[in-house]
Protein backbone atom coordinates (compact mmCIF):
# COMPACT_ATOMS: atom_id res chain seq x y z
CA UNK A 1 0.00 0.00 0.00
CA UNK A 2 1.12 3.57 -0.49
CA UNK A 3 2.05 5.77 2.45
CA UNK A 4 -0.88 8.05 1.67
CA UNK A 5 -3.39 5.20 1.63
CA UNK A 6 -1.90 3.67 4.78
CA UNK A 7 -2.07 6.99 6.59
CA UNK A 8 -5.64 7.59 5.40
CA UNK A 9 -6.72 4.17 6.66
CA UNK A 10 -5.14 4.94 10.04
CA UNK A 11 -7.03 8.26 10.14
CA UNK A 12 -10.29 6.36 9.58
CA UNK A 13 -9.32 4.13 12.53
CA UNK A 14 -8.77 7.27 14.59
CA UNK A 15 -12.19 8.69 13.69
CA UNK A 16 -13.85 5.37 14.50
CA UNK A 17 -11.99 5.07 17.82
CA UNK A 18 -13.14 8.55 18.80
CA UNK A 19 -16.70 7.72 17.78
CA UNK A 20 -16.71 4.46 19.72
CA UNK A 21 -15.18 6.10 22.76
CA UNK A 22 -15.83 9.55 24.12
CA UNK A 23 -17.30 11.50 21.23
CA UNK A 24 -20.36 10.16 19.46
CA UNK A 25 -21.06 12.81 16.84
CA UNK A 26 -20.12 11.32 13.47
CA UNK A 27 -23.20 9.87 11.79
CA UNK A 28 -21.77 8.64 8.53
CA UNK A 29 -19.05 6.27 7.52
CA UNK A 30 -15.73 8.02 6.77
CA UNK A 31 -15.20 8.00 3.01
CA UNK A 32 -12.31 8.91 0.77
CA UNK A 33 -13.04 11.75 -1.63
CA UNK A 34 -11.23 12.01 -4.96
CA UNK A 35 -10.34 15.69 -4.76
CA UNK A 36 -7.79 17.91 -3.09
CA UNK A 37 -8.37 19.13 0.43
CA UNK A 38 -10.34 22.39 0.74
CA UNK A 39 -7.38 24.21 2.29
CA UNK A 40 -9.26 27.50 2.58
CA UNK A 41 -11.39 26.13 5.44
CA UNK A 42 -10.42 26.76 9.06
CA UNK A 43 -9.25 23.90 11.20
CA UNK A 44 -6.60 22.23 13.30
CA UNK A 45 -3.39 20.79 11.90
CA UNK A 46 -0.89 18.40 13.46
CA UNK A 47 2.58 17.73 12.03
CA UNK A 48 4.25 14.33 12.08
CA UNK A 49 7.90 13.91 11.11
CA UNK A 50 9.62 10.58 10.69
CA UNK A 51 12.67 9.07 9.12
CA UNK A 52 11.05 8.92 5.70
CA UNK A 53 7.82 10.92 5.87
CA UNK A 54 6.64 14.41 6.71
CA UNK A 55 2.87 14.47 7.27
CA UNK A 56 0.45 17.31 7.90
CA UNK A 57 -2.86 16.07 9.21
CA UNK A 58 -5.84 18.40 9.48
CA UNK A 59 -9.42 18.47 10.73
CA UNK A 60 -11.15 21.17 8.69
CA UNK A 61 -14.72 22.34 8.17
CA UNK A 62 -16.85 25.45 7.98
CA UNK A 63 -16.36 27.48 11.16
CA UNK A 64 -20.00 27.00 12.25
CA UNK A 65 -19.53 23.24 12.02
CA UNK A 66 -16.31 23.44 14.06
CA UNK A 67 -18.11 25.56 16.65
CA UNK A 68 -20.89 22.99 16.97
CA UNK A 69 -18.33 20.15 17.22
CA UNK A 70 -16.58 22.06 19.99
CA UNK A 71 -19.84 22.51 21.89
CA UNK A 72 -20.61 18.80 21.59
CA UNK A 73 -17.06 17.87 22.62
CA UNK A 74 -16.91 20.17 25.66
CA UNK A 75 -20.55 20.03 26.73
CA UNK A 76 -20.58 23.84 26.97
CA UNK A 77 -23.72 25.84 26.14
CA UNK A 78 -21.67 28.45 24.29
CA UNK A 79 -18.08 28.66 23.14
CA UNK A 80 -15.66 31.51 22.63
CA UNK A 81 -13.26 31.46 19.71
CA UNK A 82 -10.52 30.14 22.00
CA UNK A 83 -12.84 27.37 23.26
CA UNK A 84 -13.49 26.33 19.65
CA UNK A 85 -9.84 26.36 18.65
CA UNK A 86 -8.81 24.42 21.77
CA UNK A 87 -11.50 21.77 21.34
CA UNK A 88 -10.87 21.27 17.63
CA UNK A 89 -7.11 21.02 18.07
CA UNK A 90 -7.70 18.43 20.80
CA UNK A 91 -9.97 16.37 18.52
CA UNK A 92 -7.37 16.54 15.72
CA UNK A 93 -4.66 15.57 18.18
CA UNK A 94 -6.65 12.53 19.37
CA UNK A 95 -7.39 11.28 15.84
CA UNK A 96 -3.81 12.02 14.73
CA UNK A 97 -2.48 10.17 17.77
CA UNK A 98 -4.38 7.02 16.84
CA UNK A 99 -3.09 7.31 13.28
CA UNK A 100 0.47 7.75 14.57
CA UNK A 101 0.22 4.60 16.72
CA UNK A 102 -0.77 2.68 13.60
CA UNK A 103 1.90 4.22 11.37
CA UNK A 104 4.83 4.04 13.80
CA UNK A 105 5.46 0.41 12.83
CA UNK A 106 6.29 1.65 9.31
CA UNK A 107 8.37 4.61 10.51
CA UNK A 108 9.73 4.07 14.04
CA UNK A 109 11.18 7.61 14.11
CA UNK A 110 7.72 9.18 13.67
CA UNK A 111 7.15 12.01 16.14
CA UNK A 112 4.31 14.48 16.42
CA UNK A 113 4.36 18.23 16.78
CA UNK A 114 1.95 20.46 18.63
CA UNK A 115 -1.41 20.99 16.93
CA UNK A 116 -2.20 24.46 15.63
CA UNK A 117 -5.44 26.08 14.51
CA UNK A 118 -5.45 28.02 11.24
CA UNK A 119 -8.13 30.41 10.05
CA UNK A 120 -6.36 31.29 6.81
CA UNK A 121 -5.63 29.41 3.66
CA UNK A 122 -2.97 26.71 3.91
CA UNK A 123 -0.58 26.77 0.94
CA UNK A 124 1.25 23.54 0.16
CA UNK A 125 3.99 22.70 -2.34
CA UNK A 126 2.86 21.09 -5.57
CA UNK A 127 4.86 17.90 -4.87
CA UNK A 128 2.79 16.99 -1.82
CA UNK A 129 0.45 13.99 -2.02
CA UNK A 130 -3.02 14.67 -0.64
CA UNK A 131 -5.85 12.52 0.64
CA UNK A 132 -9.22 13.71 1.86
CA UNK A 133 -11.70 11.88 4.05
CA UNK A 134 -15.18 13.26 4.55
CA UNK A 135 -17.28 12.35 7.56
CA UNK A 136 -20.85 13.45 8.04
CA UNK A 137 -21.61 14.61 11.53
CA UNK A 138 -24.79 15.69 13.23
CA UNK A 139 -23.54 19.27 12.81
CA UNK A 140 -22.25 19.22 9.21
CA UNK A 141 -19.52 17.84 6.95
CA UNK A 142 -16.08 17.44 8.50
CA UNK A 143 -12.93 16.80 6.48
CA UNK A 144 -9.79 15.00 7.57
CA UNK A 145 -6.96 15.99 5.25
CA UNK A 146 -3.61 14.27 4.95
CA UNK A 147 -0.68 15.92 3.19
CA UNK A 148 2.48 13.86 2.76
CA UNK A 149 5.88 14.92 1.51
CA UNK A 150 8.29 12.05 1.07
CA UNK A 151 11.92 11.97 2.09
CA UNK A 152 11.51 14.21 5.11
Q: Mean pLDDT, consecutive 10-residue segments, the chain of 152 residues?
A: 79 77 68 81 93 88 94 90 95 89 88 91 80 86 86 52
Reading phi first (left if > 0) and then psi (alpha if -120 to 50, else beta), residue 73 is in alpha
pLDDT of the residue at 21 = 62
pTM for this prediction: 0.87
Residue 145 β-bridge partners: 58, 132
pLDDT of the residue at 23 = 66
CB 36 within 8 A of CB 84: no
Half-sphere exposure of 20 (CA within 13 A, CB side): 9
Q: What domains does the chain contain, in order, with CATH numbers?
A: 3-122+137-150 (3.40.1550.10)
CA terminus-to-terminus distance, the chain? 19
Amino acid sequence: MSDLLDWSMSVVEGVQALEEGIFKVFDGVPRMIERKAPLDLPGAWVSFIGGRLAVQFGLIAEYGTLEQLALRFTGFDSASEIDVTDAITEIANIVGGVAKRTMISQDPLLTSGLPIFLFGRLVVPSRVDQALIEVQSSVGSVYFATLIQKDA
